[in-house]
């Protein structure tokens, strides 16, 4: 399959997911899910990143693999809100703008559907999330990673991005919390012509 000039060829046959468990440097926050399945390659990079953090800092994961049904649940309210906010737009414009914030459940899906993306933040070692300028999965003008947030939030975002990127995970520029490896978005951001993790569901 080719999407936006990027060929998606599944590397693992059949695709394989493993279940993450907490460590002293990686916490699992059940706010939005209890499904902690992920590609082994992502797990390995997460473990390496958590071990590379400065003393006293940990990673806190909010979401990993996401089913097509779950993706549809996230898509629908955002599409409805954008449609209500812009009644003069065409359906195609509504779809395009919604896709900026939530990957459509049809077509190529999201990196989460491939088991190749995570929503993650920094926390203290007593499980307190750090100030990142917005809440997790809060869509505001300050959500993009490079937005003008206060100094503390900027420093925290930089630590998160630099730590994960050092392990090969890329950040989605419109969401400070979203990182992936091997999916279509990873290929797009890194200038690759192929992605090797396709949607599983």
Q: How far apart are CA 198 and CA 185, in angstroms?
A: 11
Domain ranges within the chain, ordered by starting residue: 2-66+116-195, 67-109
Provide φ and ψ at 154, rounded to 5°.
Answer: -60, -45
Q: What is the pLDDT of residue 32?
A: 86
* Residue 108: pLDDT band with limits 50, 70, 90: low
Give the side-chain half-sphere CA count within 13 A for 81. 11
- pLDDT of residue 190 exceeding 80, the answer is yes
Q: What is the pTM of this model?
A: 0.88
Chain centroid to CA 70: 14
Q: What is the pLDDT of residues 112-140, one digit of tens each?
A: 999 999 999 999 999 999 999 999 988 89
- pLDDT of residue 158 exceeding 90, the answer is yes
Q: What number does CATH give the domain 2-66+116-195?
A: 3.30.1380.10
Q: What is the pLDDT of residues 53-86, one digit of tens each?
A: 999 999 999 999 988 888 888 889 999 999 999 9
Q: What is the pLDDT of residues 14-56, one digit of tens each?
A: 999 999 999 999 999 999 899 999 999 999 999 999 999 999 9
């Amino acid at each position: 399959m080719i999407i936006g000039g990027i060929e998606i060829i599944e590397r693992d046959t059949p695709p394989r997911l493993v279940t993450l468990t907490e460590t002293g440097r990686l916490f699992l926050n059940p706010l939005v899910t209890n499904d902690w399945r992920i590609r082994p390659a992502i797990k390995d990079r997460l473990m390496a990143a958590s071990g590379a953090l400065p003393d006293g800092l940990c990673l806190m994961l909010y979401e990993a693999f996401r089913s097509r049904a779950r993706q549809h649940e996230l898509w629908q309210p955002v599409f409805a809100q954008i449609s209500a906010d812009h009644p003069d737009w065409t359906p195609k414009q509504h779809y395009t703008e919604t896709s900026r914030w939530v990957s459509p459940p049809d077509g190529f899906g999201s990196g989460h559907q491939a088991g190749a993306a995570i929503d993650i933040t920094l926390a203290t070692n007593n499980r307190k999330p750090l100030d990142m300028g917005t809440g997790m999965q809060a869509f505001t003008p300050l959500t993009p990673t490079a937005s003008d947030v206060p100094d503390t939030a900027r420093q925290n975002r930089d630590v998160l991005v630099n730590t994960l990127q050092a392990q090969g995970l890329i950040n989605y520029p419109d969401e400070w919390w979203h990182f992936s490896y091997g999916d279509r978005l990873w290929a797009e951001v890194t200038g690759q012509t192929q992605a090797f993790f396709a949607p599983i569901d």
